[in-house]
Amino acid sequence: MECPNLKEVRRLGQSVWLDFISRELVASGRLKGLVGRGLAGMTSNPTIFHKSISQGAAYDESLRSVLREAAGIDTKALYDRLIVQDIQMAADALRPVYDATGGADGLVSLEPPAQMAYDTGATMAEVRRLWRLVSRPNVMIKVPATPQGIPVIEALLGEGININITLMFSMKHYEAVSHAYMRGIARHERPEKVVSVASFFVSRVDTYVDRELERIGTEKALSLRGKAAIANSKLVYQRFRDIFSGEEFAAQRGRGARVQRVLWGSTSAKNPVYPDTMYVDELIGPDTVNTMPLETLEAFCDHGRVGLSLETGLDEASRTLAEIRELGVDFDGITEQLQVDGVKAFADSLEELMKVLEEKRRQVPVS
């Protein structure tokens, strides 16, 4: 089925990536079909891999093959083999997009263990290891926007490693990340070769803020439900425009560096009362990426609204966040907690996935 909306948002300057990966999706040719409809990239995380590997038998043959070759392999190495195969297959499927866009799109993201999120040295070493292991020019390695992750971003962009900075929820997070990007590419001889996106999480902000608004319970508080995430994102996008079209980026722009596009993550509507494409329809604008799970992508193709929505309602966005704060909601505290909880959620998913792999290696017959 064609998806005119994907081509239309592309015309407006936004790329759509898929926030999902599985062996079946790639091996069946379904990913190739989505690329034909206008999909331009792919992201993954430990929660996605846990879902993919724990459901069904799509990975059983690969498990058997690895265990025949290395019967004593530990579970972490087994995990490496499986996810690297997935990332390589997806990167190869998206390579034509990468080549056609001069490296702007056709990228696939891979995340190091979240357990390293507060350890600068461990994260740096793991990103380098994964970059070498996957060995594809169109892979991006994720680095969390924790205080310990910021030096990693700067150092590894300087080495020419493509970085997707993740778990950003606030203007404070975005400021730190965008400036780390500029410092990093300033250290690289060929900055036009380096690709990076700043992944800003959306719907989870409403989940946490709405909970506080419902606790307050006044008519005013309840009227602000479902508005914080989009307002927060629109204001960050304006800061992006200020930085990358102004003097702050002028020197690197003159050297041929790319802008670090904002990527909207967590764009499925967690509250079933909200429209299922609200975090897509309201966040369309130039030099951005929206990465969607399959269900949201299909919904957007079916009934999404396309327009330059990121540039509208800016005064309202500022007013919305001001009113939320005036009610006593600790918005800054919430965004910090969201990052902490995001790290924990990904770490928990990886631990659960390791248990699944331990069980599968016992269940899958090798002979």
pLDDT digits (tens, 9 = 90+) for 346-358: 999 999 999 988 8
User: What was the pLDDT predicted at 250?
Assistant: 96
pTM of the model: 0.96
Q: How far is CA 93 from CA 18, 179, 340, 341, in A?
A: 13, 32, 34, 33
The answer to whether 166 touches 127, Cβ cutoff 8 Å, is no
Of 181, 53, 147, 161, the C-alpha closest to 109 is 161
User: What was the pLDDT predicted at 176?
Assistant: 98
Tokens representing residue 227 in the block: 């508005």
Tokens representing residue 366 in the block: 């090798």
Of 161, 183, 199, the C-alpha closest to 339 is 199
User: What was the pLDDT predicted at 60?
Assistant: 83
Hey, which residues does 144 pair with through a beta bridge?
Answer: 166
The CA distance from 288 to 98, in Å, is 16
User: What value does the mean pLDDT of the chain take?
Assistant: 95
What is the average pLDDT across 157-185?
A: 98
Span 102-132, pLDDT tens digits: 999 999 999 999 999 999 999 999 999 999 9
Residues that are catalytic: 142
Q: How far is CA 258 from CA 156, 186, 327, in A?
A: 16, 12, 40
Span 29-68, pLDDT tens digits: 999 999 999 999 999 988 888 888 888 778 888 888 888 8
Q: How far is CA 177 from CA 51, 104, 180, in A?
A: 29, 19, 5
Tokens representing residue 247 in the block: 């003097």
Beta-carbon contacts of 130 under 8 Å, excluding residues fewer than 6 positions away, are 84, 110, 112, 141
Q: Please give the class, per CATH, of domain 4-363.
A: alpha beta
Tokens representing residue 148 in the block: 């310990």
Going by pLDDT thresholds of 50, 70 and 90, the confidence category of residue 367 is low
